[in-house]
Amino acid sequence: MSKYVMDIESTGLNIFKDDIIEISVLKLDSKYGIEDCFLTLLKSRNKLPRNIVDLTGITDELLSDRPYFSEVKKDLQCFLRTNTVYIYSRFEERFLVKRYGFKNKFIDVLNTVKRRFPDIPNYKLSTVLNRFKILYKPHRAFDDSVALSMLMKELRL
């Protein structure tokens, strides 16, 4: 059975004011291999904040010819269908459910990590991945979703 893993990058943390600027959804096979992928950069309604550019490397120029989220929403819904989506923290869920009305069930892998590993000093994705010796480049949606899929494999989710 396939599993769907998602990560997004955004212009900030306010789900109603800020914009999604990158989405990655991996459809994984039973051995955690990538079966299919939905990946896109998205134009923001406003100029990107400097801290987001510094964090992600995504620039206004990079997004200038990209679609807005509203233009890819139906494609994303078709890709996800009614499948459950694995995420790390509830950020993606809040954006997609509260702001855009998605009906998918979301499973937060962070809750599993907290339950199984109460001794980790903090639960940032980079800290948890380091515990499992999983290397990745943070703050890009595809890399974060690949890293999350590797963590899920380690956790046997």
pLDDT tens for residues 102-118? 999 999 999 999 999 99
CATH number of the domain bearing residue 102: 3.30.420.10
- In one-letter notation, the amino acid at residue 157 is L
Long-range contacts of 60-65 (CB under 8 A, 24+ apart): 63/21
Alpha helices per DSSP H over the chain: 50-56, 60-63, 69-80, 91-93, 109-116, 125-131, 141-155
pTM over 0.85: yes
**Exposed / middle / buried, residue 11 (Cβ in 10 Å: 0-12, 13-18, 19+):** buried
Tally the domains of the chain: 1
Task: Determine the pLDDT at residue 60.
Answer: 98
The mean pLDDT of 50-56, rounded to a whole number, is 97
Q: Which residues contact 112 (CB under 8 A, 6 or more apart)?
A: 155, 157
Task: Determine the pLDDT at residue 28.
Answer: 98
Structural domain that includes position 121: 3-155
The mean pLDDT of 122-138, rounded to a whole number, is 92
Whole-number average pLDDT of the chain: 96
Specify the residue for token string 């499948």. Answer: 83
8 Å CB contact between 138 and 125: yes
The mean pLDDT of 13-34, rounded to a whole number, is 97
